[in-house]
């Protein structure tokens, strides 16, 4: 009888040792992102680099990140942040209220948005704290866009937006042409939507490709500003190239006659094509 009881007790103890301990179930949270070009999920380990597609200045690119729990227990996301020294071109979006717990077979999604305002390289560090352990992801992105420079005349004088384009003195009835070179020194295509001038006797000429046209990186386009004055004067105008504007200054050369008449002093001025009024005669 005693032997039977002992065997039963040993069997119970053995079953307790063999039974799994669910209280120690482990979480297994991994990070990854959805590639914007392929929609594939790519894993991210501590110290990995997350590349962004080249993004035009003034636009945004958003990359979705995933924190997935492939373990058998829940675990916590303590915080998600971008390093304090990061440029404002990077922003976090769609974040939940943190800290938060991720259950087994569940995932948390959030977004890192890149919005460049300059055509240059950008970098930052994404910090994700999982149950007190921080994972660092390096963010790398490039803003792309045109960078136009201008030069005019035979000496290729530089011209900045808002500056003044000085045209050569031109005789009335004659036409002078001043070339303007537009270069794209940026890293992205630049579209010129308009190329126009305003002002007496001013016009855009010799434009081989009518606007709108596109100048690729490293490319250039030349236009000419024609000045055909009709009367001697100081002429002011305005040149518009895409979103850039410039003042125009020119001098029209030539005689300028003035007329007056009178039967006694003082005389009366009269404009060209005006009328001379004679006093009544007795």
Closest CA relative to residue 203, chosen from 174, 238, 172: 238
Final residue belonging to a domain, choices 89, 124, 144: 144
**pLDDT value of position 251:** 95
Model pLDDT for residues 224-248, shown as the tens digit of each residue: 999 999 999 999 999 999 999 999 9
Going by pLDDT thresholds of 50, 70 and 90, the confidence category of residue 273 is: low
129 and 35 share a domain?
Answer: yes
90 and 155 share a domain?
Answer: no
**Given a cut of 80, is residue 37 above it in pLDDT?**
yes
181 domain-assigned: yes
Mean pLDDT in residue range 259-278: 69
Mean pLDDT of the chain: 87
**Which helix H or strand E contains 16, and what residues bound it?**
helix 2-18
139 in Cβ contact with 123 (< 8 Å):
yes
Which residue segment(s) compose the domain that 54 sits in? 26-144
Domain CATH code at residue 134: 2.60.40.10
Mean pLDDT in residue range 204-216: 78
Closest CA relative to residue 99, chosen from 80, 126, 112, 82: 80
266 domain-assigned: no
Final residue belonging to a domain, choices 126, 144, 162: 144
72 domain-assigned: yes
**pLDDT value of position 84:** 84
101 and 173 share a domain?
Answer: no
264 domain-assigned: no
126 and 56 share a domain?
Answer: yes
pTM: 0.67
The CA distance from 52 to 42, in Å, is 13
209 domain-assigned: yes
Residue 95 neighbours by CB under 8 Å, 6+ apart: 80, 110
Final residue belonging to a domain, choices 104, 126, 144: 144
261 in Cβ contact with 268 (< 8 Å):
yes
140 and 152 share a domain?
Answer: no
**pLDDT value of position 51:** 97
**Given a cut of 80, is residue 14 above it in pLDDT?**
no
Sign of the Cα torsion 115, 57, 163, 159 reads positive
User: What is the count of structural domains for the chain?
Assistant: 2
Other beta carbons within 10 Å of 89: 21
């Amino acid at each position: 009888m005693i032997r039977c009881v002992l065997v039963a007790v040993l069997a119970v103890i053995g079953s307790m040792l063999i039974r799994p301990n669910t209280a120690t179930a482990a979480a297994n949270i991994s990070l990854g992102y959805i590639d914007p070009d392929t929609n594939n999920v790519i894993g991210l380990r501590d110290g990995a680099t997350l590349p962004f597609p080249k993004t035009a200045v003034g636009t945004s690119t958003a990359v979705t990140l995933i924190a997935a729990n492939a373990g058998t227990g829940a675990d916590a996301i303590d915080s998600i942040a971008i390093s304090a020294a990061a440029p404002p071109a990077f922003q976090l979006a769609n974040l939940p209220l943190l800290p938060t717990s991720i259950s087994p077979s569940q995932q948390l999604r959030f977004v890192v948005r890149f919005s460049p305002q300059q055509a240059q390289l950008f970098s930052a560090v994404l910090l994700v704290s999982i149950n007190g352990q921080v994972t660092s992801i390096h963010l790398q992105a490039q803003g792309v866009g045109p960078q136009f420079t201008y030069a005019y005349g035979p000496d290729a004088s530089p011209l900045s937006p808002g500056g003044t384009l000085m045209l050569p003195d031109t005789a009335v009835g004659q036409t002078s042409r001043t070339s303007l070179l537009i270069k794209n020194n940026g890293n992205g295509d630049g579209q010129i939507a308009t190329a126009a001038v305003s002002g007496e006797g001013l016009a855009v000429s010799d434009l081989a490709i009518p606007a709108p046209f596109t100048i690729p990186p490293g490319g250039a386009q030349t236009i000419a500003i024609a000045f055909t004055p009709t009367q001697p004067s100081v002429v002011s105008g305005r040149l518009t190239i895409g979103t850039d504007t410039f003042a125009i200054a020119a001098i029209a050369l030539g005689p300028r006659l003035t007329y007056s008449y009178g039967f006694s002093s003082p005389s009366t001025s009269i404009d060209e094509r005006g009328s001379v009024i004679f006093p009544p005669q007795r």
